[in-house]
Chain A
Amino acid sequence: MTMEQTNLLQFQRIAIRRATDALRASLLFWPLILLNACTSPLPPPPPLEKDISVTPTTGLVTSENGASTFFTVSLRRQPTDDVSIPIQSTNEAEGRLTKETISFSPDNWSIPQRIAVVGVDDNIADGDIRYTITVLPAVSADNSFNGADATDVILTNIDNESAPQPVTNHVLYITTGVIEISASKISGNGVASLPSWGYSTDPTEAGTSPGPIIDALVGRPLTIRVVNRHNIAHQFDIPGLFTSTQTLLPNESLQVEITPTEAGIYRYGDPDVVNRSLGLFGAIVVRPANGSKTAWNNGPAYSQERNWVIADLDETWNRNAPAVNVSRYNPNYFLINGQNGFSAKEDTATTLKGSVGETILVRIANAGQYDQSLHFHASHFKIISQNGIKVRDIREAPSVTTINVKRASTAMILFPLAQPGIYPVHVHTAQMETGNGVYLNGTATFIIAEE
């Protein structure tokens, strides 16, 4: 009887044949002896993939602007002889390697090696292209490493031929609107209509909170005319881009003329904290001058982008505006892009949806009075900017799963879609996970990564 590693836990049937003899005994007991088991010599274990570590294996981005990236290869233990690991790009028209072989010796095995991958340019609007750096089986006289096949690296090369040119003249009307809160998909609770102040681009339409995202380019003049169609006075500023002490009485207007010099996300709105809390805020997104999919000029590249304007809202303030009790602020709604959690989980402009291997740049502006500590499942991500202060060397960007976006501040992160599945993003702070007490109806959305 043979038992192998693959069938150790399976019962085996042993057949016993009846034999005839000349004895007349009607019942005869006889022993069935199981002899001691013996084992055959085991073949040497195959080389383990985990002895060669490759990180990261997904989420890396190069660009046709020449932006490069890198991954790190290291050995987990000392080899007895030299180890060579061939690598190659599956698409050298999109990404090329700066070396073809990684070599470790018994002396330098403990030093991880960084492998650079450089994006390749073309003159075709071919969109973003995924490609792979194949890590081939290792070659070594050390049999425990020879043939070890580590994980390949998936990258995306970002196209630079198809960037749209943004509109440079905008009009924002200060007015009123309504924020609709949808029901929980778990309990059915939570539906509400909340009066709000907001901005619109059409004088005949209600305002939204946040106001419209305004796109801009570094170095390109941008004009915004702000018209007060509300029944009380307001002001307007863009921290980091534009300040003004001018008061806009009803039906007065203000001309904003700026030329952004730094890419990023900027919060616009009423500088008065009460007016801002009642809904008067929005965001301006400034992209690099060439419109490339990089966070800033020659900055880290990405394949998709999202812009999140988050805020908190005290319903009693909104229902009694402008007669609010300034000393008593108890926000009971926490919104992302003006939506409660169960709406934001279905909003394609908010969810982090894409293919495994993509990297999403998320620009975040917190227009609220409360700090929001956002936790992402599925993957660590890089914080590349906070309140306009950029991490110039991407290696110094901390890898985290939670970012505290302070009140009235901004941040930018690079989120890699590193593994398939659906995962939540949510604030990790008690009541902020709810909309007026209804669970998961606060600041929340989904990560949706497809193979």
Chain B
Amino acid sequence: MKYSTAILKNKPSNTISRLQNIVLFCLLVVSMQASAVDVGKGITLSVRQINKTFGGETIAFWVYCSIGGTGPGSCANPQLPGPLLELGVGAQANITLKVPMMMASEPPPYHGHTIHFHGLDVSQSEDGVPETGASVFGDQYTFSVDSRYVGGHKYHCHVHTVKHLEMGMYGAFVVRDVDQQGNFLKNINAGGPAYDDEWNWVLSTVDPSYHTAVGDSLVFASYTPRYFLVNGKEGLSRSSPAETLTSRVNSTVAIRLMGLHSTNATFQILNTEGTTQDFVLHNMDGFALNTPKTLTQIEVSPGQTKDIMITLPVNPGTLYPEVTYRRLRDDSSYSTVYSILTFN
């Protein structure tokens, strides 16, 4: 058994690489005007360290960012989680990860970074796993997916995952249904029901001690999460929600729940009276269910993705989607992250 298979990708020639870089740069200037990045047009990611403050405690995070532009998620304005990546069915993703020598990292043997495209079933050479041959000093990832993958997925670093995932090296990856011209469609899955608005939620938890420990530390032998996030925000109450979305009455909203946390979690939507609302589960880990399920609560465990849709009432009002993080041993509650969905 080899733990470092010597599988090397066919790298482009220098000439082609230079041309691609020029093209990539041009594309990035355009793509970074939007918050989501179409990786079918090419993207270069890097990693930055940022500090975030929760409960008066300042914690260092490592986050992916896109090179070029100044918008949220760019390396000029890095965010937790990293930028939303999207890819149309049939298009080829072309993602370059640059890992400069001075980048925030750990000492060997857990140095450097990769990208693992969680749920996309990519080949070994694109899998981002150092133990099976992935480069940790920068890499280029190319792959395409078929229509089965239309839905929510994730990406994250697969170097010393117990540490690097906790540090914030993750983001949402959405595969889009496309029309004959390759334009993105607002379908929950391939040929599936259309939605009007979408919300992508990255679920994560924070144990501050993990952010200072390195290597095979005893710190990583137990996990005591202190902060509970949706899209990098705490949302401790409805008056201080993690997320807000304004939609329209009688419209449909797709919510993709992407589990990058390390506890159990449940999702539900309440109305102002505290009554749970029906929603429909369409996809699990980015694959369509044969028969969608109508539910009032759903579990999202670490590594899972669930794509749901809700049809909003015909009269204006407010709903309260929320995630409750729970203990692995007995499902008792740690904390709830609140959000607000208004419709006019």
**Contact of A25 with B by CB under 8 A:** no
Contacts of A429 in B (CB 8 A): 223, 262-263, 302-303, 328
Complex Cα spacing A273 to B191, Å = 48
Interface of A is mostly: loop
CB atoms of A53 and B147 under 8 A apart: yes
Most buried by B among A329, A398, A439: A439
Contacts of A370 in B (CB 8 A): 328-329
Given contacts A9-B16, A424-B131, A440-B131, contact A398 B284 (CB under 8 A): yes
Q: Which residue of A lies closest to B16 (CB)?
A: A9
Interface residues, chain B, with chain A CB atoms under 8 Å away: 1, 3, 5, 7, 13, 15-16, 19, 90, 109-110, 116, 118-119, 121, 123-125, 127, 129, 131-132, 146-148, 160-163, 165-166, 180, 191, 207, 210, 215-223, 259, 262-264, 284-285, 287, 289-291, 299, 301-304, 328-329
Contacts of A377 in B (CB 8 A): 116, 121, 127, 129
Given contacts A55-B146, A430-B207, contact A375 B19 (CB under 8 A): no
**Contact of A401 with B by CB under 8 A:** yes
Most buried by B among A76, A377, A396: A377
**Contact of A99 with B by CB under 8 A:** no
Q: Which residue of B lies closest to A395 (CB)?
A: B290
Contact of A330 among B16, B222, B287, B302 (CB under 8 A): B222
CB atoms of A423 and B109 under 8 A apart: no
Q: Which residue of A lies closest to B162 (CB)?
A: A433
**Contact of A436 with B by CB under 8 A:** yes
CB atoms of B221 and A437 under 8 A apart: yes
Interface residues, chain A, with chain B CB atoms under 8 Å away: 9, 50, 53, 55, 76-77, 110, 184-187, 189-190, 329-330, 332, 345-346, 369-371, 373, 375, 377-380, 395-396, 398-402, 404, 407, 418-424, 426-431, 433-434, 436-440, 446
Complex Cα spacing A424 to B158, Å = 11
CB atoms of A9 and B19 under 8 A apart: yes
Question: Could you list some 28 contacts between A and B, CB below 8 A?
Answer: A9-B16, A77-B180, A332-B222, A371-B264, A371-B301, A371-B328, A373-B259, A377-B129, A378-B124, A398-B289, A399-B148, A401-B118, A401-B121, A402-B301, A402-B302, A407-B329, A419-B121, A419-B123, A420-B124, A423-B129, A428-B259, A428-B301, A429-B263, A430-B166, A430-B207, A430-B223, A437-B220, A438-B216
**Closest CB-CB distance, B253 to chain A, in whole Å?**
22
CB atoms of A431 and B162 under 8 A apart: yes
Given contacts A9-B19, A55-B146, A396-B290, contact A186 B109 (CB under 8 A): yes
Given contacts A187-B216, A431-B222, contact A380 B287 (CB under 8 A): yes
Complex Cα spacing A371 to B303, Å = 13
Given contacts A375-B118, A402-B301, A431-B221, contact A396 B148 (CB under 8 A): no
